[in-house]
Every structure is written in C-alpha cells, then in structure tokens.
Chains A and B, each alone.
Chain A
Amino acid sequence: MRVSARLRRWRPTHAHVRSVVGGISTLGLALITHRPDLVVMATPFVVVAVWGTLTRPSSEPVPSSRLGLRSLREGESTYLHYRVTDTSGVHAVSAVIRYSPWLQIQPVRRAVTVHVDPAGDHPVDVSVGVRAVRWGDHRVGPGALAMTSSWGAFRYGTIPMQEERLLTLPAPVMFDNRAPSPHPQGLVGLNRSARPGEGSEFNTIRPFQVGDRLRRIHWPSSLRTGGLNVTATYADHDSQVLVIVDATNDIGRSDGIDGAESTLDTTIRAAAAVSEHYIRRGERVAMRIFGAGNPTVHSAATGLAHLRRMLAALARTVPGGTYEKQELNPRYRIDPGTLVIMMSPLVSSVTLRRALALASHGLSLVVVDTMPTTVTHDSDEAGAVTLAWRIRMLERRVEIGQVTSAGIPVVDWRGPGSLDQVLRDVGRRAAAPRLAHR
C-alpha cells in the first residue's frame, strides 16, 4: 500500500507542541514579570520539551503485515501480525484494526499498544487474534499503525495497513451416512456392486474357474466336496454424487457458528458436510451452485484437493437474490446412476420445479430442506411481512407435498443420519424397473 511521504516521517505531536509552547511562554512571562514561581511552573514543560526533542528518533520504521493462516474453518482462530523493523528510538507501537463482520478480534476493542525498548533495534511484532465465526471470504483489516517516541513527542504515521484476505471454509459439521449409494458405477470404491467381482463382501462359494486367484480357494468346502471351490465376492464400486446448492437467497439472521443460522448458512454447511463425507469415502463428487451471484460448477472428481476446491467455492458463495435468467432445465451432463442431492431452503417454487425436471430424467434425486426452524418474521411490527411469510410457508408446504407425491423424497437437514433412511428407500426403488424420459 502506498503511503504518502507526509506520513512517513516523524512529526511533532500536540503533546510536544504543548510542552514547547507552555515552556517558552511561561518562562517568558516569568522573566518579564519577575516571578520566580512561574519559573518553577515552567520547569516541567521545559524539561519535557528538551527531553522529547533530544530523543527524537532518526529511524525510518518499515511496517509489514501477514496472517498466520490464510485459510481456516469456521470457529477457528489465527493471528494477524504487524511487524515493524528499524525501531531505534521508538517507545510505543500502536495498532488499530477495522471492524469486520463475522470476525472476532482479540482484544475485543481492536486496538493494541506495545511497549518497545527504544535502545534496541530489533523488529517489533504487534499481534491480534482473529476468529472467523462465519464461512466466507473475509477481509481482516485494513488497519493502522503508529509509532511514537519518548514523551509522545513525535509520531511516525499513522501508516494505513492493507487488508488481508482470510478464506473461512464451512465448519466440518458431523455427517454420517450408512446407507449405500443407489447406483454405484465406478471401478473402485466402498459401495457393493450388484455384480460379482473383485471385492471384499461375500457373495457365494462356487467351483474354481481358470483365472481365479489361489488365495480365494475355500479349503473346507474343497475338502468336503473333493473339488476346488473358491469364495466369490461382490465388486466394490464407487459412485458419483452431484451436490446442487441453492444459493439464491439468504433469509434469516446469521450470528455465525455460535448463534442462529440463516438459510444459506445451513445450506452451505450441509453441502460441505455431505461433500466431505462422500469424498472421504472415496466417491466422485460434483457440485453445482446455482442462483448465486457467482455460480460455480465443479466436475465430478475425488481426492482432498478436489474437496478443498469445493469447500473454497462454497465459502465464496454470494447469494444472488434473483431467480430471473435461471435456466429451469439446464444441461447438467450427469452420468447415469448419479446420486443427486439438492440442498435448498425451498423458498421459491422455481427450485421445486427444477427438482421435478431433474427427476423426470430418471436420476436418483434427494431434496434436502435446509430451512432452519429459527427463521421467522414474528418481529415485524406492521404484521404485513409476518402474514406474507406465513402465506408463503403454507404454499411451500403444498408444493413440497406435490413434489413428494411425484416420487422425489424431501428430507429436513438434521446433520448426521439425515439421509440414511431416504437413501435406503431410493436404493430399493432403484432396483425396480421404471419408466423415465431420456
């Protein structure tokens, strides 16, 4: 950050001017009026003025800033370090950090003063704690630094310090799902395939065939029958999961990780939890964030690097606020057998129509309702907003009922186990023959 030359030099403060003016004028008055008591009163001013002037620093402090961590999870903390070099003659370094929403600064007043040994020339560190309480791409700062000399006589700065960017990923919400994926399609993974093959889950015992591995021979049955038998297993396959995130609106009050959740808070945290769960199981996960100010598409992939990219995209999500220009039936380029999980507060009927369009292609779709129970509009004094909200909630209930009757499961987000039962049901239904538009 460019700092004007006027700030990059030691300038006298009001305190120094006070001591100089007070000393000279009181001493002059004492001499003119022959009052020795005024000489006594002038003494503190004169001594302080001379002291402050003689100890005026000649150094040119160089400030710099850095964050301890550039990326962290909600609720985690790091430090913002301001370092000042060439500090000879400096008695105190003060720093102030600007208020940032969703960041808790320690000390809470966002101002620090550090006592400096003026004889030393070693770097001085001014550190403040930073705790991110909500996901997002936050700005820490900007801040300001000032250095002062003895008696506060001269000040260097105030130097504006550039803001630092802190990417806060959604909190690792506990999520677990014991239900198998409905259509495992890949080559490797944890899901039991419908077909026999190389895997770990027992299928049957059958006669030995050419190509079977010797370690698969089942010796007890071979001894009983007199012929070689082998243990057959089901193949272990991975599956593809598409997580669709509705970021059109952010309704309700958000108090960060420690307080109330808005709709987008719940949606983002749920999407992060589901993505992380499936990635850690070895599945391929794709993600689409629609309705956002910055819509994002991530193709299916696996691995922690892919997870990190998706979490970063979720953290950078900006609610779009409009359903206009949204394609109701976009081309998702989804492989057959993909499990589609749509995270949405279902405020708009457009989202439900989108779910119907997806299900009409024969995809296994689960809609997760991420509307927090805490979102109300009861505090509206006029009552009009409260009434409108209640009407919309009634309409929403009807629309969800219509979607459910069309065969699309809609489940509330409750954290761990939210999807267990519904995925088992989807898996059972997937085994049955059905008609679908292609």
Chain B
Amino acid sequence: MTGPTTYRMPLGESLTSGPWSRLMLRALVIGAALVGMLGVRWTGAEPDAVLSLVVAALAVYASTRPDSPIGVIVVGIIVLNWFFVTDASALGWSVVPALCVLLVHAGLAALSVSPPQSALPGPFLVRWAMHAGVVGVATVVVWALALSLGGLDQPGHVLLTALGFVALVAVAVVLGQRAAVKDV
C-alpha cells in the first residue's frame, strides 16, 4: 500500500515555491543588497563585481534561511564595502546604502518571523512596512543632520566621543539587564 508522498521543502525548492508574499520579500532583500553594493558607483568609486555577486549569493541564501547568522555577514559586507571603497566625502550618498541595509535587515527579520512555507498576511506586511518607514525617516533625519553639521568644520573631541560611546553601551547594557529581569 502506498499513499501520497511526504511533503518537504528543500533549499532548492524553497527558493521558488514559497507564497508570493515571501517571494516578494526575498526579491526585496536581494535587490537591496545588490543596490547597497553597487551604489558606491554614484560616489565615483568602482564597485567590486565579484564581491557584489558574492553578496547577492549570500542574500539569496539568507532569504531562504532568514533565521541564521548569514544576514549579519550580508549587512557586514555592505557596510565594510562602503567603508573601504568610499571616503567621508561620500556622506551625501550614504543615505542610499543605509536605507538598503534597513531593507535587508527588515526583510530578513520579517521572513524569519514565520515558517518558510507560510504566507505572510496583508496586515502583517503593512505593519512591517510602516515600522520600516518610521526607521527610514529616522535615518533620513540623521543623514540630514550629518549633512548640516558637516558644514560646521568643528574639530572633534576624543574624550567627549569616547564618553558618548560608553554612554551608548551603558544604555544598551541597562536595557539588556531589564530584559533579563523580565525573564526571572
């Protein structure tokens, strides 16, 4: 006696067989990663085609396994590529890779929330789009502030910078401890 075959979703199948909502999010992640890599061309720098292909491949894999550390590697390469290929004069274009990094992160996070076979409901996508829009606006505000403050030409202060960074880390630690207390 034989019955229907067992349904499984291997990697190759999961690339193309997901619901449309997931396929669109995957395309968004891969496209944003590529734009983040190739966007350095607008600053006058030459993008590394091989590295861009590697990032695209990693983005494809990360979009099929969104709840994995591969996403960190993808956004890490985009940031480091920008850091090494451009210089401080590229501040005017930095909002583009920043928004691309946001899209990659938000897309992977949204994909990781639900099982690989599951369709993403409309209200769920709308909420994620709204949240990403809020963060995008915050990024544009910071970019605008950086552009306006960049014209001041004031020398930096090492001590104040270090203190600010320590304060930021302290806030992160306090928030983390609050989270740990909630667990108990």
A and B, one complex? Answer: yes
Q: A residues near B, CB below 8 A?
A: 9-10, 13-15, 17-22, 24-29, 31, 33-41, 43-45, 47-51, 53-54, 56, 58, 91-92, 94, 96, 99, 101-102, 107, 109-115, 148, 150-153, 250-255, 262, 264
Given A27-B165, A56-B179, A58-B182, CB of A44 within 8 Å of CB of B139: yes
Given A22-B76, A47-B138, CB of A37 within 8 Å of CB of B146: yes
B182/A17 in contact, CB under 8 A: no
B1/A251 in contact, CB under 8 A: yes
Contacts A15-B108, A37-B90, A44-B101 known; 14 new A-B pairs at CB < 8 A: A22-B79, A27-B168, A37-B82, A37-B94, A39-B142, A44-B98, A44-B138, A53-B179, A54-B175, A92-B113, A94-B113, A99-B6, A251-B1, A253-B1
Residue of A nearest to B162 (CB): A31
Chain A residues with CB under 8 A of B2: 253-254
Interface residues of B in 3-30 (CB under 8 A from A): 3-4, 6-7, 19
How many Å lie between the Cα of A113 and that of B122 in the bound state?
11
Q: B residues near A, CB below 8 A?
A: 1-4, 6-7, 19, 66-69, 71-72, 75-76, 79, 82-83, 86, 88, 90-91, 94-95, 97-99, 101-102, 105-106, 108-110, 112-121, 123-124, 127, 131, 135-136, 138-139, 142-143, 146, 149-150, 156, 161-162, 164-165, 168-169, 172, 175-176, 179, 182-183
Given A14-B68, A36-B150, A111-B114, CB of A41 within 8 Å of CB of B135: no
Given A18-B105, A53-B175, CB of A37 within 8 Å of CB of B182: no
B91/A40 in contact, CB under 8 A: yes
Chain B residues with CB under 8 A of A253: 1-2
B88/A19 in contact, CB under 8 A: no
Interface SS, B side: helix
A101/B4 in contact, CB under 8 A: yes
How many Å lie between the Cα of A40 and that of B131 in the bound state?
18
15 A-B residue pairs with CB within 8 Å: A9-B183, A10-B183, A20-B172, A27-B165, A31-B165, A38-B83, A39-B142, A44-B98, A50-B175, A92-B114, A92-B124, A96-B118, A99-B6, A101-B4, A254-B1
How many Å lie between the Cα of A107 and that of B138 in the bound state?
38
Residue of B nearest to A103 (CB): B4
B135/A47 in contact, CB under 8 A: yes
How many Å lie between the Cα of A38 and that of B114 in the bound state?
31
Chain B residues with CB under 8 A of A41: 79, 82, 94, 97-98, 101
B175/A109 in contact, CB under 8 A: no
- A27, A31, A262, most chain B CB atoms within 10 A: A31
Kindly provide the distance from the CB of A252 to the nearest chain B CB, expressed in whole angstroms: 7
Chain A residues with CB under 8 A of B1: 250-254, 262, 264
Residue of A nearest to B2 (CB): A253
Chain A residues with CB under 8 A of B183: 9-10
Given A15-B71, A37-B90, A152-B109, CB of A94 within 8 Å of CB of B146: no
A111/B105 in contact, CB under 8 A: no
The residue from B72, B121, B172 contacting A115, defined by CB atoms under 8 A apart: B121
Residue of A nearest to B7 (CB): A99
B117/A22 in contact, CB under 8 A: no
Kindly provide the distance from the CB of A18 to the nearest chain B CB, expressed in whole angstroms: 5
The residue from B67, B105, B165 contacting A19, defined by CB atoms under 8 A apart: B105
Kindly provide the distance from the CB of A34 to the nearest chain B CB, expressed in whole angstroms: 6
Residue of A nearest to B65 (CB): A14
Residue of A nearest to B184 (CB): A9
A39/B123 in contact, CB under 8 A: no
Chain B residues with CB under 8 A of A33: 83
How many Å lie between the Cα of A56 and that of B116 in the bound state?
24
How many Å lie between the Cα of A113 and that of B131 in the bound state?
18
A22/B118 in contact, CB under 8 A: no
A43/B142 in contact, CB under 8 A: yes
Chain A residues with CB under 8 A of B138: 43-44, 47
B131/A44 in contact, CB under 8 A: no
Kindly provide the distance from the CB of B23 to the nearest chain A CB, expressed in whole angstroms: 13
Given A15-B105, A94-B115, CB of A113 within 8 Å of CB of B121: yes
Chain A residues with CB under 8 A of B105: 15, 18-19, 22, 44-45, 48
How many Å lie between the Cα of A102 and that of B5 in the bound state?
11
Given A37-B88, A41-B79, CB of A94 within 8 Å of CB of B114: yes
How many Å lie between the Cα of A39 and that of B94 in the bound state?
9
A18/B71 in contact, CB under 8 A: yes
Chain A residues with CB under 8 A of B94: 36-38, 40-41
